[in-house]
Structure 1
Amino acid sequence: MAESPLISIDPGSRGNANLIYFLYIVAPVFFQLLALVGVVMAYLGKGKGDALIENHYRNQINIFWKMLLYCVVSALLTFIVIGVLLFLAALVWYIVRIVKGLQALSAGELVENPESWLL
């Protein structure tokens, strides 16, 4: 059986999950618009892949919604300065979750506890 491409738009493929992680990684440069594209792709891909891909889609969807919540809370708290620190902590969390997801996907492993609020 041929190995799937690294990047793909086929919703049931590992390449599609890789593409979504890539969109998430570059999203902060593009004001999170690419993350919105990525989460739509993850929702559209749900139910079309094997257990591994489904696990990564669930992780990607959780990353998106939790980061959005962290950004809203950070923006609200910016007026008392702690919001900036919270945003920086959220950005570190975001990057770590994406990198861990990419590493697990490239190793063919499930993401441990994709619904976690922590790392």
Structure 2
Amino acid sequence: MNDPAHSDRHAAEPGKRTDTTLPIVVYALFLAGIVSGGLTALVGVVMAYVYRGEGPAWLDDHYRFLIRTFWIGVLYFGVSGVLTLVLIGFLTWLLAVLWLVIRCVKGIKRLQEHRAPDDVTTWLF
């Protein structure tokens, strides 16, 4: 992954600023989904689908990262919901919340640096 062509494609061009407000809003909606039961996360993923492909490659990688975060989160929180029937689901739900917070914070940090997420395809962080 130390390919210079790859890293240039996934970083902002020097002297050129891209508006990152919308992806930050989507990250915030995902975090608010923790207390809204996922409703705001649903709004956020719709926004990510609508706006992907309209910016530089590094910004599109954030939208892809957000979309993957939503769907992986649906899986993690869904499994946690089923596991609450055997009481371990409360622990897995807390782990899923921690996973979501870490993923969003890392994404926002990279977004503020005008760089793509470290690994868009990961299931973890």
The answer to whether TM tops 0.5 is: yes
Cα drift, residue 30 of structure 1: 1.7
Aligned mate of 1:95, from 97, 101, 115: 101
Structure 2 partner of 1:66 = 72
> TM (normalized to structure 1)?
0.86
Bigger radius of gyration:
2
Q: For residue 81 of structure 2, what is the aligned residue in structure 1?
A: 75
What CA deviation, in whole Å up to 9, does each residue of 1:19-64 have, x standing for no partner? 1111112222222111000000000011111111101001100111
Structure 1 segments of 4+ aligned residues over 6 angstroms from their partners: none
Q: Which has the higher relative contact order, 1 or 2, with Cα contacts under 8 A spaced 6 or more apart?
A: 2
Instruction: For structure 2, list consecutive stretches of 5 or more residues without a partner in the other structure.
Output: 1-14
- Scaled by the length of structure 2, the TM-score of the pair is 0.82
Give the CA RMSD over aligned residues.
Answer: 1.6
CA separation in 2, counterparts of 1:85 and 1:58?
Answer: 28
Identity over aligned pairs, percent: 37
* Deviation of 1:2 (Å): 8.3
- The 5 Å alignment of 1:18-37 reads 18-37=24-43
Partner-residue secondary structure (3-state), 2:115:
coil
Correspondence list, 1:94-113, <5 A: 94-113=100-119
* CA distance, structure 2, for counterparts of residue 86 and residue 115 of structure 1: 22
C-alpha distance in 2, partners of 1:69/1:76? Answer: 11
